[in-house]
Amino acid sequence: KAGVTQTPRYLIKTRGQQVTLSCSPISGHRSVSWYQQTPGQGLQFLFEYFSETQRNKGNFPGRFSGRQFSNSRSEMNVSTLELGDSALYLCASSPEGRTEAFFGQGTRLTVV
């Protein structure tokens, strides 16, 4: 079974731009969560989607948004990028009714 796939692996963007990251969950997993990982703040929960609905949200500004499609694939968008948004963005998928979360390799976003 293929794991969680995130694209692209690396991105460099300029302050003020927007960016869209993509996540394909493990086949059959309908829950997708997003996390931001930085050296200073560690791993922080952004949001979770299940059946195309946002089920949970972390404490991030409205510039961070996401969505999920009917095939469970998910995208997250960050608008008006700031230097502090430079981070590794991780996507995790979970089987329905189970708590285990399986992570992808992440997208490394650098804002210059």
Partner 1 sequence: QQQVKQSPQSLIVQKGGISIINCAYENTAFDYFPWYQQFPGKGPALLIAIRPDVSEKKEGRFTISFNKSAKQFSLHIMDSQPGDSATYFCAATISSNTGKLIFGQGTTLQVKP
By the rule CB under 8 A, 36 interacts with partner 1: no
3-class SS at 77? Answer: strand
By the rule CB under 8 A, 99 interacts with partner 1: yes
By the rule CB under 8 A, 42 interacts with partner 1: yes
Taking CB under 8 A as the criterion, the residue among 43, 61, 63, 82 binding partner 1 is 43
| Full DSSP string of 10-24 | EEEE-TT--EEEEEE
Whole-Å CA distances, 70 to 25, 26, 109: 12, 14, 26
CB of 41 to partner 1, least distance (A): 9
3-class SS at 83? Answer: helix
Instruction: Look at the alpha carbons of 49, 59, 101, 24 in this order and tell me if their dihedral is positive or negative.
Output: positive
By the rule CB under 8 A, 33 interacts with partner 1: yes
Taking CB under 8 A as the criterion, the residue among 17, 27, 56, 80 binding partner 1 is 56
CB of 80 to partner 1, least distance (A): 25
**Site for partner 1, residues 78 to 97, rule: CB under 8 A:** 90, 92, 94
